[in-house]
Amino acid sequence: MSKRKSTNNFSTLLSSLFILLLVVGVVGFLFIFTENFTTPLKNFYVSCGNDTIISDRENFDIVIGKEYKFEIKTNLDVDGTQNKYIVSVVPNETSTTAFTYDVDGTQYNYADLQTLAKGFSISAYEDYFIFVANMDLKDILQFYYPTSTISNVPTALDSDCPYFRLVIKSGDLTETININFNIKSE
């Protein structure tokens, strides 16, 4: 009779331990994907190497010429369609990165540019994209004004100023991750 009671106690202990681990796992999951319980549950996020990016990121360093693989991740992908995404590069306007530049003597505001994608290589695949910064800010702007003379453009390379924003939107446009980044030399 004591063997049966011992087995019963072990089963109860094992079940209790499993339930405790399950509760801790759920709380940990919610803690991470609600940013310490301060935001609604995030379903859409990206990872780059060992770095998981759940919400907006400041001062992300991108080395010029180096490939970065951004994997699109979702928590709840019931029908297999959640990994769709839209990616773009736009100016990151802050008090330290705002400037005007001259094109053949006419001034333009950097923040008014709708896209900077021509200055970067973005190869999109089903559930990830490869991102490469190829050049400095003045060379990027030259793509948009190929026959013009451009002046008064600051150097972004190694400036530690995040002049660029990588915008990653979920395919249904309900969630967006903004990554403000610096470009660094090798």
Q: How far is CA 67 from CA 96, 102, 133, 153, in A?
A: 27, 31, 8, 25
Query: What is the residue-level pLDDT of the chain in tens, covering all 186 positions?
Result: 455 556 677 777 767 777 777 766 666 665 655 556 555 556 788 999 999 888 899 999 999 999 999 999 887 655 455 568 999 999 999 999 999 999 999 999 999 999 999 999 999 998 899 999 999 999 999 999 999 999 999 999 999 999 999 999 988 888 899 999 999 998
42-184: which CATH number, 2.30.40.10, 2.40.50.100, 2.60.40.1080, 2.40.128.20? 2.60.40.1080
pTM for the model stands at 0.75
Return the domain boundaries, the chain.
1-39, 42-184
